[in-house]
Amino acid sequence: MRVALLSDIHANLEAFEACLAHAATRGVDGYALLGDFVGYGADAVAVVETVMRMAAEGAIALKGNHDAAIERSESYFNEPARAALDWARETLDAGQQRFLAQLPLIAERPPAFFVHASAVAPQRWDYIDSPRAARRCVDAAGQTHTFCGHVHEQCLYFGTRNGRMGEFRPQSGNPIPVRASRQWLAAVGSVGQPRDRNPAAAYAMFDDRRLEITFFRVPYDHHAAADKIRRAGLPASLAYRVEAGI
C-alpha cells in the first residue's frame, strides 16, 4: 500500500490540493496527515474541512503544535505566527476546533510510526534537526520506519552499525529502497511552507510493500496562496515566506 505523507500544510489550500492531485496520479492508496493544518496561511477553514473529510475516510490525522495552539495559545510563537493563529481561531467554527483538539499525537501502523515532531515526548514539539535527535526519535518510536514533519525540510535518516544515524538529502521523484534491516526516519517536508528557498510544496510517499520511500516537490501557484494571505490582512512576512520558500 502506498501512503502519501503530508505534513505542515499550514492553511495553504493551493499547495495541499496540488499535492493531493499529484499523489492521485501516483497511485496513492492512503494518507497520513502529520499535523499543523493551520497557522501561517489564509485557508484554515477549507484545509481543516478537507482534513476532516479525509480522516472520516480512514486517513491518519495527527495534531501539530499549531493545531494545539488553537485551543491553548502558546507564548513561544513569534508575532506573525501568533497573528495567523488568532485569525484561524476566529474563522474556524466550533466543530472544526473540536476536531483539531481531539487529534492524537502519534499513530502506529507496524512497521511504520507517525508523529508530527518527535516520538520522544511528542507534546514537547522537539525538532528532528540532527542525526542525534533522529536517533532519540527512532529509539522512542520502536519501529523500523518513522515519519515526521515539523522541521519543514525533507531529510532521510538511516541507522548505522555503530548505533548512530546517517543523514541524506533526497532528490525529488527518486524512489529510495528502505529495507527493514535497519531503522529509517523520514522528515517529509512541508506542504504549505517549505523553507529551503524552493517554494514548491513538499511531501513524500511510502510504499510499505516494496519498502520504498519517494520524496516529492510539487510546484503550485504559490503566488495565489501568498495573495490570499495579504488579502486576509495577515502579516506580509507570511506571504513573502510562501513566495520565497523561506
Partner 1 sequence: MPTLFGPGDSIDGFTIGDRLHAGGNGYIYRVAPPAGNDPAFPLVMKIPGVGPGEPTLGVVSFEIEQMILPQLTGVHVPRVVAVGSDPMRPYLVMEEIVGDGLASMIARAPLPPSEVARIGAALADAVQSVHRQNVIHLDLKPENFILRADGSAVLLDFGFSRHALYPDLLAEEKEFAAGSAAYVSPEQLQSNRTDLRSDVFALGVLLYELATGEPPFGEPATYAGMRDRLWRLPVPPRKRAGAISQKLQEVILRCLEADVDRRTPSAAHVAFDLRHLDQVQLTHNADLRGGARLRRQARNWWRARRGGLLPTNPAANARAPVILVAVDTEHPDDGRHPELQRAARAIIALNAEFRLMLVSAIRAASLGEGERIEDSASGKHLEHRFRLRTWIEPLRVSPSRLSLHVVESAHPAATILDLATSNHVDLIVIGAPDPGDRALAWWRSVAAEVTAGAHCSVHVVRVPERGKLWEAAEGGSPAGASAADTPGQQRPA
Beta carbons of 97 and 106 less than 8 angstroms apart = no
25 binds partner 1 (CB under 8 A): no
The strand pairing partners of 45, in sequence order, are none
What is the 3-class SS of 176-233, one letter each residue?
EECCCCCCEEEEECCCCCCCCCCCCEEEEEEECCCCEEEEEEECCCHHHHHHHHHHCC
Stretch that binds partner 1, among 61-69, 86-94, 115-123, 178-186 (CB under 8 A): 178-186
Q: Residue from 24, 93, 168, 236 that binds partner 1 (CB under 8 A)?
A: 168
Which of 73, 174 has the CB closer to partner 1? Answer: 174
Query: Quick check: helix, strand or coil at residue 36?
Result: coil
181 binds partner 1 (CB under 8 A): yes
Quick count: other Cβ atoms within 10 Å of Cβ 219? Answer: 12
Binding residues for partner 1, rule CB under 8 A, total 19
State which of residues 180, 223, 224, 233 lies at the interface with partner 1 (CB under 8 A).
Answer: 180
Residue 185 CB, nearest approach to partner 1 (Å): 11
- Is 165 an interacting residue with respect to partner 1 (CB under 8 A)? yes
- Is 139 a binding residue for partner 1 by CB under 8 A? The answer is no
CB atoms within 10 A of CB 26: 13
Torsion of CA 233, 101, 31, 246, to 10 degrees: 40
Which is closer to partner 1, CB of 104 or CB of 175? 175
Query: 221 with 8: CB under 8 angstroms?
Result: no
User: Closest separation between CB of residue 50 and partner 1, Å?
Assistant: 32
CA 21 distance to own-chain centroid: 17
Q: Which of 104, 110, 166, 219 binds partner 1 (CB under 8 A)?
A: 166
8 Å CB contact between 32 and 59: yes
* From 176, 200, 218, 232, residue interacting with partner 1 (rule: CB under 8 A): 176
Please state, in angstroms and rounded to a whole number, the distance separating the CA atoms of residues 212 and 220.
Answer: 25
The answer to whether residue 162 forms part of the interface with partner 1 (CB under 8 A) is yes
186 touching partner 1, by CB under 8 A: no
| CA–CA separation, 89 and 96 (whole Å) | 10
Stretch that binds partner 1, among 16-24, 62-70, 84-92, 153-161 (CB under 8 A): 153-161
Q: Which of 4, 20, 156, 201 binds partner 1 (CB under 8 A)?
A: 156
Among the listed residues 16, 37, 113, 158, the single contact to partner 1 using CB under 8 A: 158
- Does residue 70 interact with partner 1 by CB under 8 A? no
Q: How far apart are CA 112 and CA 116, in angstroms?
A: 14
Cβ atoms of residues 51 and 34 within 8 Å = no
By the criterion CB under 8 A, which residues form the site for partner 1? 156, 158, 160-162, 164-166, 168, 170-171, 174, 176-177, 179-182, 211
